[in-house]
Amino acid sequence: MIKNSIENLGSWIIVLLQNLGRIVIFFSQGIFYIFISPFQTKKIIEHTWFIGTKSMLVIIMTAIFTGMVLGLQGYYTLVRFGSEGMLGSAVAISLVRELGPVFCAIMITARAGSAMAAEIGMMRVSEQIDALETMNINPIRFTFSPRIVASIISFPLLTALFDVIGIFGGYIAGSLMLKINSGLYFYRVKESVVMADIIGGFIKSFVFALVVVTICCSQGFFTHLQNKGGFGAKGVSFSTTTAVVNSCVFILVCDYIITFFLV
Amino acid sequence: MKPPFIQFKNVKKSFGLNHVMQGINLSIYKGEITAIIGKSGCGKSVLLKHIIGLMNEDSGAILISGHNISNMKKKEKQEFRKKLSYMFQDNALFDFLNVYDNIALPLIEKSSFKKQEIKKRVMTKMDHLEIKDIEKKFPGELSGGMKKRVALARALVTEPDIVLFDEPTTGLDPIRKKNVHTMIKNYQKQFKFTGVIVSHEIPEIFEISQRIAMIDNGKIIFEGNPEQIKNNQTKKIHFFINPKE
C-alpha cells in the first residue's frame, strides 16, 4: 500500500518534470527561432491580426462592463465615506494595475489561446506537423515563433485598450448614471495613475503573453503525448481545455508574483 | 549486384505490446521503385516513417548508402531529408493554406528560387496532375481524390532523389488511379528518383515497380521483382495477390 503510493507519487513527479522540461525546451527553441532569418514577417502580421485585431471586440465589451461594474461598486462603497469623488482614482488604479492586464489576458486566452491550441493540435493529429518535418521545415519555428512575436505585440496593446475603455466604462456608470462630476472623475484618473502603474501593467501583459502563448501552443504541439484523451478529436479537445485552464491559473499565479515584486 | 541504397537490418519496432516490426530485413536500390505490400495494419507506413526519420527503431539498423541513420548528426540528417519527399496516407495538407501555397510551401521555405521560378514549377506540377483550376481553393473544399493529387504535387515539386508514397491512389477513381501510376512511372523515368510505395493496388502496382516486398507478421516474407511474386506459389503470398482464386 505505502509502496504503491510512493511509486505513484514518484511516477507523477517524473511525468511532471518531463512535461516541464519539454515546455522549457519548446519555449527556448521558439524564442531562438524568432531571430533566425528569414524572418517570418507575413506570418507575424497574420497572427497579430488574429490574436490582436480580432480580439478587439471582445476586449472592448469586457472592458466597458468591467469599468461600469467598478464604477457602480466603487461609488456605493465610497459614498459611505463621503469620498465618491475618488471614484476616478479607484477605477483607474484597479484597471491599470490589476484588472486590465489580468482580464485582458484571460479574454485573449479564451478567444485566441484556445484557437491556437486547437489549431496546432489538429495539425499534430492530421500529421501536418510531421509533414513539416519531412520538408525539413522546423515545426516549432513554423507554428510557435511567429505566435510569440504576435502575442508580445498584441497583449500590451489590448491591455492599453482595455484600460482606456474600462476607465470610460467607469465614467459612464459614475458620471453619466450616478452624476459624479465628470471633470472631477477625469482629474482623479490623471492625478492617481503614475507612470510606474502603467509600466507595471505592461510588464504583466508582456509576461502573460509569454505564458499564454507557450502553454497554448505547447498543449497543441504535444497533443500526441497526452496520456488522456487519445490521439484524435478527443485528444485535441483535451489539449484545448488544458491549455485554457492552465493559462488562466498561471496568469493569476504570475500576477501575484509580479505584483509582489512591483509593490 | 549493386549495393542497396536503403537497407533495413533486423529492424524491430514495438508500440507497447504491439510488435509491428519483428526483424525487418529489406534492401531498396537506387533509381528503382520498390512497392511494399501487405495486409492493412501490418506496419507498412511505420516502415516508411523509419526511412524519413519520423520514427526511430527499437533495435537493428537502417542504412542509407551504408550510413546508419541513427548515427547521423543533425546536419547530416537535414541534408539527407533535403533529398527526400513523403506523401502521407491522409495527405497532411495544411488547412490554412490554399492549394497553390500548399504545393509551393517546401520551395518557399527551403529553396533559393525566386517567386517566378516557384510559380512556374508549381504550375507545371498542377498542370500534370490536372489541378490547375483549383489553385485558390482550400483543402477543406476539395474531394478526397483532389486532395490526393495536391499531396502528390507537393511531394514531387522539389524534384527529390527519394520519394516515399504512402498509398498514393487510395480514394481515386480507376482512371485517375491509372493516371497517377503512369505519372509516377514517367516521373521516375525522367528524374531517376528512388521510390518506395506502400500500396494495396494489386496487380496495378506491379506495372510501375521494379521490386516488390511483402510484409507479414512484422517480417518481410518476400523480396523480388514483380514476375517473381506473380509466379510465387507460397500459399500466403499467392492468396494475397490473387484473392479471387
Give the mutation candidate from B94, B98, B147, B165 for the A interface (greatest A CB count, under 10 A).
B94
Query: To the nearest whole number, what is the mean pLDDT of chain A?
Result: 94
| Secondary structure of residue A207 in the 3-state scheme | helix
Q: Which three cell numbers, joined as nine digits, stand for A172?
A: 459612464
Is residue A14 domain-resident?
no
pLDDT of residue A66: 96
Q: What is the mean pLDDT of residues A88-102?
A: 96
Measure the CA–CA gap between B176 and A150, rounded to whole angstroms.
43
Q: Using the predicted structure, report yes or no on whether residue B202 has a pLDDT greater than 90.
A: no
Residues in A closer than 8 angstroms to B84, CB to CB, are 134
pLDDT of residue B201: 87
Percent of chain A with pLDDT over 90: 86
Q: Which three cell numbers, joined as nine digits, stand for A41?
A: 514577417
Reported confidence tier of residue B239, pLDDT bands at 50, 70, 90: confident
**CB-nearest partner of A131 from B78, B81, B88:** B88
pLDDT of residue A232: 82
Residues in A closer than 8 angstroms to B53, CB to CB, are 133
- Tell whether omega for the bond before A38 is within 30 degrees of 0, i.e. cis: yes
Q: What ipTM was reported for this prediction?
A: 0.86
Measure the CA–CA gap between B167 and B148, rounded to whole angstroms.
10
Give the mutation candidate from B46, B55, B86, B87 for the A interface (greatest A CB count, under 10 A).
B86
Task: Please report which residue ranges of B19-98 form alpha helices under DSSP H.
Answer: 44-52, 74-82
Q: Using the predicted structure, report yes or no on whether residue A229 has a pLDDT greater than 80.
A: no
Position with higher pLDDT, B3 vs A231: B3
pLDDT tens string B99-113: 999 999 999 988 889
Contact B88 A123 (CB under 8 A): no
Q: Which three cell numbers, joined as nine digits, stand for A154?
A: 498584441
Q: Using the predicted structure, report yes or no on whether residue A228 has a pLDDT greater than 70.
A: no
pLDDT of residue B235: 87
B95: closest CA of chain A, how far (Å): 9
Residues in A closer than 8 angstroms to B96, CB to CB, are 119
Q: What is the mean pLDDT of residues A157-169?
A: 97
- Tell whether omega for the bond before B203 is within 30 degrees of 0, i.e. cis: yes
Contact B92 A130 (CB under 8 A): yes
Is residue A102 domain-resident?
yes
Reported confidence tier of residue B245, pLDDT bands at 50, 70, 90: low
pLDDT of residue B130: 82
A7: closest CA of chain B, how far (Å): 20
Place of cell 491509372: B178
Range of the domain at A79: 43-262
Distance of CA B187 to the CA centre of its chain: 14
**CB-nearest partner of B92 from A119, A126, A136:** A126
Please choose, from the candidates B163, B226, B170, B219, the residue with its C-alpha nearest in 3D space to the C-alpha of residue B38.
B219
Residue by residue, DSSP assigns A4-58 as HHHHHHHHHHHHHHHHHHHHHHHHHHHHHHHTSSSP-HHHHHHHHHHHTGGGHHH
Is residue A251 domain-resident?
yes
- The CB-side HSE value for B89 (13 A sphere, CA atoms) comes to 14
Position with higher pLDDT, A3 vs A44: A44
Q: Which stretches of chain A sit within 8 Å of chain B by CB? A: 119, 122-123, 126-128, 130-131, 133-137, 142
Reported confidence tier of residue A192, pLDDT bands at 50, 70, 90: very high
Residues in A closer than 8 angstroms to B88, CB to CB, are 127, 130-131
Residues in B closer than 8 angstroms to A135, CB to CB, are 105-106, 109-110, 158
Place of cell 484600460: A163
Distance of CA B9 to the CA centre of its chain: 20
**For chain B, how many residues are written?**
245
Percent of chain A with pLDDT over 70: 98
Q: Using the predicted structure, report yes or no on whether residue B244 has a pLDDT greater than 80.
A: no
Position with higher pLDDT, A112 vs B129: A112
Residues in A closer than 8 angstroms to B105, CB to CB, are 135, 137
pLDDT tens string B26-66: 999 999 999 999 988 888 999 999 999 889 999 999 999 88
Residues in B closer than 8 angstroms to A133, CB to CB, are 53-54, 81
* Domains identified in chain A, total number: 1
